[in-house]
Structure 1
Amino acid sequence: MAIIGIGVDLCSIERWQQACERRPGLRERVLCPDEAALPIASQAGRWAAKEALAKALGAPAGMVWRDCEVLRGADGAPSFRLRGTVQARADELGITTIHLSISHDGGLATAYVICEAR
């Protein structure tokens, strides 16, 4: 496996909440419905994950935020479901595996993404 891209993002949970209050529709524009229904700290973590993925993919123009969704496995591990613009970019880069780690503590949410290809 070869690493194609690495991305990291850090998000202030308070700043995320304030942005959602100031800009009606932000949450619905960038988060999928199941993500938007989560507690605010988890929403900030999802936003950080999407930002980290965008960086790992080379920050492609025209990426639709809702074309990637953070899912939680039975074991609690996060993963992405890709579609549309994000899936197309991953395919273009030959990405076969995406690793994701999310954490939130002390008022901050952070996410790390590693994209690999065979």
Structure 2
Amino acid sequence: MKVTPEHNERIANMTFASVYPHYVTKIEKKGRTQDELHKVIEWLTGFDKNQLQKLIDDKATFKTFFEHANLNPNAHLITGVICGYRIEDIDNELTKQTRYLDKLIDELAKGRKMEKILREPKN
């Protein structure tokens, strides 16, 4: 599936606060915790719980969310298909970063081990 400019614009203007409750519902339905969700988000973005809450309270768009994020240097290791799009083929940086987040949350909901989700190096 090809990502369109309209799709990219829609993602950029969507608020993180509008999607966050869906993330929580998705992972809790599968027996995962909000702390695990925050750990995944912090790994990807560098945002701690307080920073995340401020972004939610401020109704930050995904554009603002990722502009303020300190993206993990291993984020490029997140590959595969999410929402019908192959992540590594997405050329719009913001859309790719948003799909990174979607993929991590999907993996969390599917019961994947945290060290695999966080792309930790093997010892």
TM-score by length of 1: 0.30
More helix by share: 2
TM-score normalised per structure 2? 0.29
